[in-house]
Amino acid sequence: MRFMLLATALLTAHMAHAEAVLDRIKAHGELRVGTTGDYKPFTFRNPDGSYVGADIDMARKLAAKLGVKLVFVPTIWARLNADYEADTFDIAMGGVTNLPPRAAKGPFSETVYVDGKRPVARCADADRFTSIEAIDKPDVRVVVNPGASNEEFAHKNFPHAKLTVHADNATVFDEIVAGRQDVMVTDGIEVDHQSAIHHELCPTHVPAAFTHLEKAYWVRPDKDLLAVVNSFVADEIKSGDWKAILQRQLVAP
C-alpha cells in the first residue's frame, strides 16, 4: 500500500511538470507510437518493415482522430521501459501489460483487454501441462521470450524445468512445433492466436489462467493526451469496432 501511494505521488508530480505532449504532437504533426512488432495479434512487423495487428489498426485510427501523421518507433520488450523514460515515443501500443513498475513511470489508458497467462504446447501434450506443477519438472523443456513478463513468470515458477530463453519472439513458437521445446506460458490471447495459425499447437487444458493481466496503452505523462486516448478507447469499445478489429487479427496468419 505504501509503495502504491508513493508511486502515485511520484507519477502525479511527474505529470505536473511534464511537457504538454499533446501540444507537441499537434505542433509537430505526428504521433510517435512505440511498438515491438513481435506480438501477434496485437503488433507484428513484416519483413518489408510494414506493421500489422489489432493495436496497429488502433494506432492508425488514433492518429487519424488527432489529425496527425503516424510514426512507428521500433522497440523491444527488454528496452521498453528505458525507451519510455528516454521519450522516444508518445504512446506504447501492442499488447502492453499494465504493470506497477510501468505505471509508476507514466499513466496507462483504460483497459482494452483482460487476459492471463496460459500454456501452449503440441496438441498431443494438451492434457499433460495442465498446471504449474506439471510444467515445473526436470524433464520438461520450457521456452520463453526475453525481457518481459513471460520471462519473469518462467523464472519464478519453473525453477526445476529446463528453461530456454529464445531470443526471437517471432519464432519462439516454432521451437515447440519443431519438437525442440515442449511448452511456453504466455498471455492467453497469444496462445489462442498461435494455436489458430499452427495446427500442431493447442492451448493446454488448464482450469483457469495462471494470472490476471490487463492490456492498455502506455501514454506519456500528459493529462490532456491521456483524456484523448481514454475517450478514443471508450468510443472504440462502445461501438464494437475494437472487438471486430481484435477478432479479425486473432485469426490472421
Grid cell in block for residue 188: 492467453
The per-residue pLDDT for range 178-235, each reduced to its tens digit, is 999 999 999 999 999 999 999 999 999 999 999 999 999 999 999 999 999 999 999 9
Is the pLDDT at 2 greater than 50? The verdict is no
Grid cell in block for residue 150: 513471460
**CATH classification number, 117-203, choose in 2.130.10.10, 3.30.499.10, 3.40.190.10, 1.10.238.10:** 3.40.190.10
Q: Which of 105, 117, 110 has the alpha carbon at shortest distance from 148?
A: 117
Q: How far apart (Å, rounded) are the C-alpha atoms in residues 173 and 198?
A: 9
φ/ψ (deg, to 5) at 51: -115, 145
Q: How far apart (Å, rounded) are the C-alpha atoms in residues 66 and 227?
A: 12
Query: Contact, 202 vs 195, CB < 8 A?
Result: yes
The per-residue pLDDT for range 144-193, each reduced to its tens digit, is 998 778 999 999 999 999 999 999 888 999 999 999 999 999 999 999 99
pLDDT band, very low/low/confident/very high, at 15 (cuts 50, 70, 90): very low
Return the domain boundaries, the chain.
Answer: 2-114+214-250, 117-203
The per-residue pLDDT for range 59-111, each reduced to its tens digit, is 999 999 999 999 999 999 989 999 999 999 999 999 999 999 999 999 999 99
- Architecture of the structural domain at 2-114+214-250: 3-Layer(aba) Sandwich (3.40)
Determine whether 48 is exposed, middle or buried from the number of CB atoms within 10 Å of its CB (0-12, 13-18, 19+). Answer: exposed
Are the folds of 2-114+214-250 and 117-203 the same?
yes
Quick count: other Cβ atoms within 10 Å of Cβ 78?
13
Q: Which residue has the cell 492471463?
A: 116
How large is the C-alpha radius of gyration of the chain? 19
Predicted structure pTM score? 0.83
Q: Rounded to the nearest 10 degrees, how much is the dihedral formed by the CA atoms of 101, 106, 111, 116?
A: -20
